[in-house]
Amino acid sequence: MKRTALLALLIASLATTALAEDPPAWEQELRKKLEQPLTLNFAETPLTDACGYLSRKLGVDIVIDPKWDTGGPVTLALEEVGGDAVLSLLTRLCSEKGAWDLRWGGVFVGEQARLDALPKDAPGELEGLEKRANYDFAERNIRSAVDFLAGYADLKVTFSEKALSKMKGTNVSNRGNNVSMRDALCRLLFPLGFAWEVKAEGVVVGLAQVKSMETIEEKNRRLVKATTVSLNFEGTPVTEALNFLSQCCTVPIHLDPVLMEQVSDAELLITLNVSGVTVKNALELITLTKSLAFDYRYGGVFVARADRLKVLPRNALPEATPDDKRWMKALRARLEEPVSFAFDSATVEQALDFIRTLKGLNIVIDPAASSQAEEAELTLSVSNVRMVDALALALLPRGFSMKFKNEVILVSLAE
């Protein structure tokens, strides 16, 4: 499938988000390399070749998830664009859910769900794991590749019977430049469903345990609780404070638009100076100070008055049932797809027109709601969130509801 990209794409919006804390030295070095500007012209180029070009230009190893169906070659022309933004564009061209991050001493690209599920490291200390090597495996049996690295680093590696059975028909294509044995084993084994750990005086390779997929809400709760920040807000608008926290923990945080209409700007200023608190603690302090509350809904964190949180629906999409018709299952899948957009003082009707065109959804506004949809103002920015969550954020807090009937999303006034 041919994919094209124009320079007019919002490259800046695809750059990596600032981290709340200083990353380790190896990561800082890689991020600095990824800031280098690139000029490129890919024409029907396989992703492996495109990533190989980026790897050579940036001096960074790029590992492509072997389980990722990238959909075919890419076409992309850019001039003087940072390597991190190029990677974001490239992965999104291959798949709407495409993403990348830093792990295993390099860049790993694949679908976001896989990045979230695969471990970032393997614990344990052992002489030989930090030894570095260059290697280039092309369709080499995974057992043979691991044995080669073990022999080079003088590591004792044993395999479980189940791992040996799976390895018989499993090949790997992987390249490493000055890579530690620890990172090399992670690159080779984790994406293919294997696990390894340090035991006694050697490395034991087995099969990875299949974990249940973390829900969006579970992931958001984990990130909000785990991310530590230091704050120095002096008369800062609450919207800016929440945006800062959102950037730190990479979880969308939205303030109830009705609150912003009912309260003066002066009432939504915050002064807060704290160090080493979690984003969860910061949210608790901010909401307590302003007599607000927060909840995990609409793909992120929603901040509003407590009484509003009680009456607003938590979900826009009804739970799936075995009785769902085929069209509902197809629509549900469409609404799970990621979307990005930014509206500034648009009307709800204009926003729905844009979304309808962007995603090809059959969205119909109930005649009884058309007047309000024409007048209700919408300022909202979302990035890579589920379509259903974006619609919920746009509609539910503004007095609208969504119903699903005969392949149509019907937008009505909330009861």
pLDDT per residue as tens digits for the range 139-153: 999 999 999 999 999
**349 has a pLDDT exceeding 50:** yes
| Average pLDDT value over all residues in the chain | 87
pLDDT at site 9: 37
**How confident is the model over 74-98, as a mean pLDDT?**
87
Burial class, 265, CB count within 10 angstroms (exposed 0-12 / middle 13-18 / buried 19+): exposed
Mean pLDDT score, 157-178: 91
Least confident of 14-28, 44-58, 97-111, 161-175: 14-28
Give the pairing of strands 157-159 and 202-207.
Answer: parallel
75-102 average pLDDT score? 88
Higher pLDDT, 382 or 13: 382
Task: Give the model's pLDDT for residue 5.
Answer: 36
How much is the pLDDT for 213? 59
**Would you state the pLDDT for residue 210?**
61
**What was the pLDDT predicted at 134?**
93
Q: Region 1-15: what's the mean pLDDT?
A: 38
Lowest mean pLDDT among 200-209, 230-239, 387-396: 200-209
Is the pLDDT confidence value at 211 over 80? Answer: no
| pLDDT score recorded for residue 6 | 34
pTM, 2 dp: 0.54
pLDDT at 3 over 60: no
**Residue 195 token pair:** 């696990």
CB count in 10 Å sphere of residue 92 = 20
- How far apart CA 250 and CA 233 sit, in angstroms, is 20
Quickly state the pLDDT bin for 22 (edges 50, 70, 90).
low
Is 64's pLDDT higher than 90?
A: yes
Q: pLDDT digits over 360-386, tens only?
A: 889 999 999 999 999 999 999 998 888
Q: Which residue in the block uniquely carries the two structure tokens 């007019």? A: 8
User: What's the pLDDT at 4?
Assistant: 38
State the pLDDT at residue 276: 92
On whether the CB atoms of residues 297 and 251 are closer than 8 A, the answer is no
Residues 364 and 407: beta-carbon distance below 8 Å: no
Condensed to tens digits (0 to 9), the pLDDT of residues 290-342 reads: 999 999 999 999 999 999 999 999 888 887 777 788 888 888 888 888 888 89
Coil, strand or helix at 160: coil
Look-up: residue for tokens 């609450």?
238
CA distances from 406 to 50, 329, 403, 412 (A): 43, 12, 10, 16
* Structure tokens given for 369: 């709601």
| pLDDT at residue 2 is higher than 60 | no
- Give the lowest-confidence range in 105-109, 284-288, 357-361: 357-361
Closest CA to 148 of 161, 134, 160: 134
pLDDT, residue 384, reads 84
CB contact set of 308 (below 8 Å; sequence gap of 6+): 256, 258, 259, 397
Which of 153, 109, 157 lies closest to 135, judged by CA?
Answer: 153
Q: In this structure, which amino acid lies at residue 131?
A: K
Q: Are 180 and 106 in contact (CB under 8 A)?
A: no
The residue with greater pLDDT, 244 or 95, is 244
Domains of the chain with bracketed CATH: 11-117 (3.55.50.30), 132-207 (3.55.50.30), 216-311 (3.55.50.30), 326-413 (3.55.50.30)
pLDDT of residue 319: 79
Over range 180-191, report the average pLDDT. 94
